[in-house]
Chain A
Amino acid sequence: MARMTMIEAIREAHDAAMAADDRVVVFGEDVGFFGGVFRCTAGLQEKYGKSRCFDAPINESGIVGTAIGMAAYGLKPVIEIQFADYVYPAYDQIVSEAARLRHRSNADFTCPLVIRMPTGGGIFGGQTHSQSPEALFTHVSGLKVVMPSNPRDAKGLLLAAIADPDPVIFFEPKRLYNGPFDGHHDKPVESWKAHPLGEVPDGDEIVPLGKAAVRREGTEVTVLAYGTMVFVAEAAAQETGVDAEVIDLRSLMPLDLETIVASVQKTGRCVIVHEATRTSGFGAELMSLVQENCFYHLEAPVIRVTGWDTPYPHAQEWEYFPGPGRVGEALKKVMED
């Protein structure tokens, strides 16, 4: 068990997968010689050669399109979209091609492909380096969508994604890349290396897709969160004194509905937190599922705490995404009802 950052954990997952299976190939913008702008693939080209880890032209549709061809051939491509904000040129390839290939060909051709992309804000990235487009992918039949909140999950989920026979969208919250934070934006990030959650087992421990984790047990309200917002939710629970159960979804598709329902039926209250814009966001899906499955157990209306329905701002990002203050208000509000 070593302590490491999420970046290092992601690199370890690549390394373990590439060592175990020479069908695993890694490519994307800057991922080869330089090891990626966030350094998630550093050293892989040197270790596995240029034909298994290489730089790609700046063409996201081309990166995903060629990866689909490679996956159909029988390789297992793991590709990096430099920022989630850049994925839109590749959207057609992902949605119309990768997601549907198995179904439309009756498994004559399949697409075991992992598309990694840094997501979310908190690094002053402005409109084009901060978005959280997960809902655009959970809406698409045939895709799996994952977002870890800590190094152990990042490694284990990435290994599971690479082993998966279907295309997986792998979101990496870039605000968590180098360390966790206590939920507040204005305090320094603590290194994962000094944080218990930064402990990552050696070898190839898999975190299965479709399984949520209970990060904080509680009895009064269930908070559903993923990625960076897990820490925001934990901080809010701590600071308000509300006995909240914080569930880290980890996989959005498939979703661990069983864990969600069991928790909400136990607590009778639910707050949903995500960084993405609210309207038609993944929170809407979660709210519908909670309503469908837990209506008679609910003691208060479900509340969403989300990013606002505006383009992602540069200077006002701390006002844009939820912090412990806004989540705390939601916790107090559901407790009043």
Chain B
Amino acid sequence: MTSDTGPLSLNVPEPGCRPGRTPDFSDFEIPRAGAVARPPVDADPDLIRDMAFSIVRVLNKDGAAVGDWAGALSTEELHEGLRHMLLLRTFDARMLNAQRQGKTSFYMQHLGEEAVSCAFSRAMEPGDMNFPTYRQAGLLIARGYPLVTMMNQIYSNAEDPLHGRQLPIMYSSKEHGFFSISGNLGTQFVQSVGWAMASAISGDTRIAAGWIGDGSTAESDFHAAMVFASTYNAPVVLNIVNNQWAISTFQGIARGGVGTFAARGHGFGIASVRVDGNDYLAVHAVAKWACERARRGHGPTLIEHVTYRAGGHSTSDDPSAYRSRREAAAWPLGDPVERLKKHLIAIGEWSEERHKQAEAEVLDTVRAAQKEAEAIGTLTAGKVPSPRDMFEGVYETMPPHLIRQRQEAGF
């Protein structure tokens, strides 16, 4: 033992803003909108390494769409995008309230992150497959999955497509390119790579997208996904949604305070991009670029969506216990709905009046769906799935021991 080095100490990263403190994002480097060039889709990952440290942004502070990544969407598509985000936000608010009223056990909202899933969904084609986490319901909403069906699952009522077997927000729809969600974090990142490999093995044209949160990038399966995607040049888009918080643990714990999440792709030779996750146009443009890259056989892309979870982790979480109440408002990339709205107004394609009208229409749509779903039942009232359903579908054919147990249970 040497005496001249002194005792060692452990570094435990801390977020900048605990409750009661003033939020300070001054050291968060945000490039100007339009500053990051759009490389060709066949770009060599080695030549675009800087994209993992910058942030692709399209909408500037005045609401103008600027730079190489702008111009990919028509006005009609932008209107639709705004509607999808409003729909998701309104759906969230109603379901959050329904949980507080005891109509379901649990809910997870997307507040502040609506652009990520809604804009990404538009870049994918029918037949492609997402392997989402619990905070990408926008993938379903933007693909027209029925709101009533979503609510039926949230209420675990008799029309729940999953018969009350899954948590309320863990949807599944092969038809809508939405893989069954797992609560075990990170597991599905590598499954998305396998699905994409299978498409390549089969000579298919479809691609996959994996989704993971910033906290779960610490899981071994994140690294497994990267090595398999890299090794086999899988046609997959690997999305990290960095919403700053993994329940109460800030993103620096998984990241270690060095580099960026996107930069982790460099060691695998994977094209790696950071994007402004609160900028609908930027998310869509980067997603489209990455999907095209995958579809043309140029391999995987890692996208870090830089965003902020403005709400709690779930209905079981109280974020005021671990972060400043003012932090969400101080988040420098703003609100995705407000930014797209401002853009549409700036280009003369929207107004405050039309926005209010759209909000009212969306609320009517969600209310009507909720009325329809609640008429069937909720977790605590109305028609519920049969307990017999829990014995069904464990295997394709029910084995004798399960038949005996089902009979023993009285069904």
Contacts and interface: CB of A to CB of B under 8 A. Distances in A.
Contacts of A59: 224, 227-228
B88 interface: no
B268 to A, nearest CB: 11
A105 B201 contact: no
Given A61-B220, A97-B184, A108-B173, A66 B395 contact: no
Nearest to A57: B227
Contacts of A106: 161-163, 165, 172, 393
Contacts of A57: 224, 227-228, 231
B269 to A, nearest CB: 14
Given A72-B191, A165-B396, A104 B165 contact: yes
B194 interface: yes
B95 interface: no
Contact of B394 (A65, A103, A108): A103
B73 to A, nearest CB: 30
Contacts of A105: 162, 172, 174, 180
A73 interface: yes
Interface string A96-110: 110001111111111
Interface in A54-73: 56-57, 59, 61-62, 65-70, 72-73
Contacts of A61: 190, 220-221, 224
Contact of A110 (B187, B227, B396, B399): B396
Contacts, number: 141
A105 to B, nearest CB: 4
A97 B224 contact: no
A93 interface: yes
A96 B184 contact: yes
Contacts of B237: none
B187 A97 contact: yes
B191 A97 contact: yes
A234 B64 CA distance: 82
A96 B395 contact: no
Contacts of A241: none
B170 interface: yes
Interface in B152-190: 161-163, 165-166, 170, 172-174, 179-180, 182, 184, 187-188, 190
Interface in B301-346: none
B402 to A, nearest CB: 8
Given A69-B198, A96-B187, A105-B162, 9 more contacts: A51-B201, A62-B190, A62-B228, A69-B191, A73-B198, A96-B182, A102-B393, A108-B173, A165-B396
Interface of B: 129, 131, 161-163, 165-166, 170, 172-174, 179-180, 182, 184, 187-188, 190-202, 208, 220-221, 224-225, 227-228, 231, 393-396, 399-401
State the 5 A-B residue pairs at the shortest beta-carbon distance, nearest first: A69-B194, A66-B194, A62-B224, A65-B190, A73-B198
7 contacts: A57-B228, A59-B228, A65-B224, A69-B193, A96-B187, A97-B182, A104-B166
